[in-house]
Structure 1
Amino acid sequence: MSSKTDAAVQEEQCNIVMGWDPWEPYLFADIDGSVRGLDVELMSAMASKAGCEISFAKASWTQLLDRLRAGQVDVVAGASVTEARKQFSWFSAPYRRETFALYVRDTEASKYPFTVMEDVLAQGMKVGVVSDYVYGEQLNRLIESERYQSQFVEVPISELNYVSLLDYSIDGFLEDPFVAATILRKKGYDEDIEQHPLVIDSGGVHFMFSKASVDEATVNDLNEALSDLIADGSYQAILDKYRL
């Protein structure tokens, strides 16, 4: 994406490449191949208000972070703010809150009658997580801790956790409840996997923009567009469409 540095450039069309990995209902490919989802619709509406065209590039989350850092994609969705990411990214205002729940094999939730992650880990549970996800400050501290690090099993995409759980390679995994509900239904795992009562609020999530390809003025324009969408009811209409 070109930086708007003078009048001639400002007159040019703003083009945004949005990187995405499948995470329905936030990001997914429809039957006709078009990219859809809550985050896609919201970013598309923001881009339209800011006078930008949007296109899409699919990759794993880890690959998207690398491409964002290099300026090969301009924006990704559903990102948490960290000091490391601030070095190469701008962030939008938060646009939704995110939670993660623990999922286990059907009927096994009673084996772990706890509401705190440390207590679950103390039972020796192996937990599937996605590489480079930010699950919130408290949980990421456990993932990176010397004591519990070996109990977290990383995968490049979240759907692999469902297979690993049913293969008994892990004892549970962390997932956004709305994403899990979609995958369990589509894959036919409803009777094989259940949600544990443990739910973790990871905080607000943001659109994350590449400092290598997007200037701060454009981010400000898109933030203003987000504020307008909230004010005129369009934002809530998008959430209602996905029942969030």
Structure 2
Amino acid sequence: MLAFILCFSAPSYGDCDITLRWDDDPPYFMVQEGKVVGIDADLVREAMGRLDCGISFQKMPWARALRELRDGHVDMLSGAYRTPEREEYAHYSEVVGLVSPNILFIRRSDESRFELNGLRQLLESGFRLGAQIHVSYSDEYSALIQNPDYDKNIEYLSRREPLWLMLARDRVDGVVASQLTGLYEIQELGLTGTLIPSSLVVSNKPAYFVFSKATVTAGFVADFDRALQSMLDDGTFASIVNRYVCVAACAGLSETEDDPEDCSLAGL
């Protein structure tokens, strides 16, 4: 296995430094003891280490980051959906090691209470949905919120934390969030076991690492993909995810899974 890893780290980029955009978005990016960490931060740090390439973190909001990537002022973003417009100025990594779908979270006590056949059916049944303002969870959701008939069933807030508390207190019946984000935030609030992911997947589009075509070559992206694939194959990818959210609770990771008892958030 070591020889396999070394094979993929053979292209050395010792004189390079990749600038990665980040913002406060646990469990993907956060600051601990003055250092940017999180699933995406640690994955990129490990992959760049295998390429002998340096990495710098630049904090900025998403909309600005897309412009900066296009103009070559930042080299790399994570968590980007594939669109024709972005493909004009960005190389997409082709290795998707983790898919975190937008799913509906509910109270454990309500597991058998609702028919989870879709958002429209739920809202028509009087289901009280908690959602963030100006967030589009899926094409279906975006269409539904244009219908004033559903206004009385949707509680909008700007942040997720109060939505989780409202769900725990039976003031809403469900909250839509990225699976990994939801699991992490619920654990941080001490609500593990009270709030759980349901079987209703609202959207399941993969998100990618992307690189600026203005500053990064397609060859470098191919080498990054090989490094990322080697991390999937040797278990490093799963180990990094397990620092923040247990792999056993997540869908879409590689077929390599660590023992759930070794997870930092085991038991979710």
> Normalised by the size of structure 1, how large is the TM-score?
0.71
The AA in structure 2 aligned to 1:97 is V
Equivalent position of 2:19 in the other structure: 17
Q: Is the 8 A contact 2:131 2:156 kept in 1?
A: yes
Match of 1:222 in 2: 224
**Does the 8 Å contact 2:103/2:176 carry over to 1?**
yes
1:183 to 1:235, Cα distance in 2 relative to 1, 3 A: closer
Worse overlay, 170-179 or 16-25: 170-179
Residues 40-74 of structure 1 show CA distances to partners (whole Å, capped at 9, x for unaligned) of 11111111222311011223333433333333322
1:149 aligns with 2:152: no
Aligned residue for 1:96, secondary structure, equals coil
1:130/1:204 Cα in 2 relative to 1: closer, same or farther (>3 Å)?
farther
The equivalent residue for 2:131 is 128
In the alignment, residue 178 of structure 1 is paired with which amino acid?
L
Alpha-carbon RMSD: 3.6
**Distance in 2 (alpha carbons) for counterparts of 1:114 and 1:59:** 37
Q: Amino acid of the residue matched to residue 142 of structure 1?
A: E
Please report how far the alpha carbon of residue 92 of structure 1 lies from its aligned counterpart in structure 2 after TM superposition: 0.7
Distance 2:133 2:39 in 1: 21
Q: Secondary structure at the match of 2:232?
A: helix
Amino acid at match of 2:161: Y
Per the alignment, residue 48 of structure 2 pairs with 47
Amino acid at match of 2:21: G
In structure 1, the residue matched to 2:209 is 207
After superposition, what is the alpha-carbon deviation per residue over 1:130-178, rounded to whole angstroms, capped at 9, x for unaligned? Answer: 7576x5xxx2x22443x5336688877xxx1332575799875321233
Distance 2:229 2:164 in 1: 41
| Structure 2 residue matching 1:98: 3-state secondary structure | coil
- How far residue 39 of structure 1 moved from its aligned partner, in angstroms, is 1.6
User: Separation in 1 of the partners of 2:237 and 2:166?
Assistant: 40
Question: Counterpart of 1:6?
Answer: none
Q: Distance in 1 between matches of 2:99 and 2:88?
A: 23
Q: Is the Cα–Cα contact under 8 Å of residues 119 and 141 in structure 2 kept in the other structure?
A: no
Q: Residue 14 of structure 2 contacts residue 52 of structure 2 at CA under 8 Å; is this kept in 1?
A: no
| Residue segments in structure 2 that go unaligned for 5+ positions in a row | 1-11, 248-268
Q: Distance in 2 between matches of 1:90 and 1:27?
A: 22
> Which range is displaced more, 61-70 or 184-193?
184-193
Whether the 8 Å CA contact 1:184–1:190 is kept in 2: the answer is yes
Post-superposition Cα deviations, 1:177-235, rounded to whole Å, max 9, x if no partner, equal 33223223334566986655423451433212222332222212211222232334433
- 1 or 2, which has the higher strand percentage? 1
Q: Do the aligned partners of residues 194 and 87 (structure 1) sit closer, same or farther apart at CA in structure 2, a change above 3 Å counting?
A: same
Q: Which has the higher contact order (CA 8 A, sep 6+)?
A: 1
Measured at CA, do residues 148 and 40 of structure 1 come closer, stay the same or move farther in structure 2, by a change above 3 Å?
A: same
Quickly say closer, same or farther: Cα 1:63–1:164, change in 2 above 3 A: farther
Report the Cα offset of residue 106 of structure 1.
Answer: 8.6
Q: Which runs of 5+ in 1 are unaligned?
A: 1-9
Letter in 2 for 1:215: T
Kindly indicate whether the alpha-carbon contact (under 8 Å) linking 2:163 and 2:175 is maintained by their aligned counterparts in 1: no
Distance in 1, Cα, partners of 2:119 & 2:37:
33
Give TM-score scaled by structure 2 length: 0.66
Q: Comparing 196-205 with 14-23, which one deviates more in the overlay?
A: 196-205
Secondary structure at the residue paired with 1:204? coil
Matching residue of 1:181: 183
Q: How many residues align?
A: 225
Q: Structure 1: which amino acid aligns with 2:140?
A: L
Q: Which residue of 2 aligns with 1:116?
A: 118
Distance in 1, matches of 2:75 and 2:187, equals: 32
